[in-house]
Amino acid sequence: MTFTKTFLSLLLITTLCVSCISTKSTSTTFWVNSKKTDCNTGAGKTQCLQIHKGHDLNITEWTPFHSSIENFAFELGYLQKIKVKKTSLKTTHTPFDTSSTTYKLVKVLEKKQDPKIILHDIWAATSINRNVIKAKNNTPTLEINLTKMQVFGTDGCNNFTGSIRNLTANTIMFNTLASTRKMCLDMQIPDIYNKALINSVSYKHESLNLFFYDANGRETIHFKKVD
């Protein structure tokens, strides 16, 4: 008798718990960016995927995606259009730090190399406004970090850092750059380099060369990839 009561009680509890939980599955399609981004989750700072649900990939902003996608393999440098199964879990007892939605890869619909990823490197200036830099020491440099969307470098005298405001397949713009304030004997190259960098709005990549251009299409800086 006691066993029967215990069994019925467990059955009732199980039934009640199941009745508190419901699931709903749908499919959705979106693009996954070629690079991850820094994000904050319940577990602290980590790297998250970035997604875009539109068709135009020539955009400046992607949406951070804080969930994982079962069976999906992220590849740095590649844009992937994927179809996923989205399952929503509704329960009255979902833990605060547990996602109520899960994602599972259905199919990779399209995959292509991101042309912007080639910028993620360190570049040394060889000419400014088509004037060749003859100095061998203290050459201006530019490091582009697409993961953090930041730039670092030296103008030949002072070090600088800043963020990328706009980046597409052929345009690039920077926010105001912060710089150290040393005074060197010859400030000519640092001054024209800084001005050329801020005036640059577009770029072209050819082999190991990177060219920046102003709003009128004039070449501002020619870089070569640093070995």
- pTM recorded for the entire structure: 0.74
State residue 43's pLDDT score.
67
pLDDT digits (tens, 9 = 90+) for 141-156: 999 999 889 999 999 9
What is the residue-wise DSSP string for the chain?
-HHHHHHHHHHHHHHHHHHT-EEEEEEEEEEE-SS-EEEEETTEEEEEEEEE-SS----S--EEE-S-EET----TTEEEEEEEEEEEEE-TT--TTS-SEEEEEEEEEEEEE-GGGGGSSEEEEEEETTEE----SS--EEEEETTTTEEEEE-SSSEEEEEEEEE-SSBEEE-PPEE-----S--HHHHHHHHHHHH--EEEEETTEEEEE-TTS-EEEEEEE--
pLDDT digits (tens, 9 = 90+) for 81-121: 999 999 988 765 555 545 589 999 999 999 999 989 999 99
Mean pLDDT, residues 20-43 taken together: 84
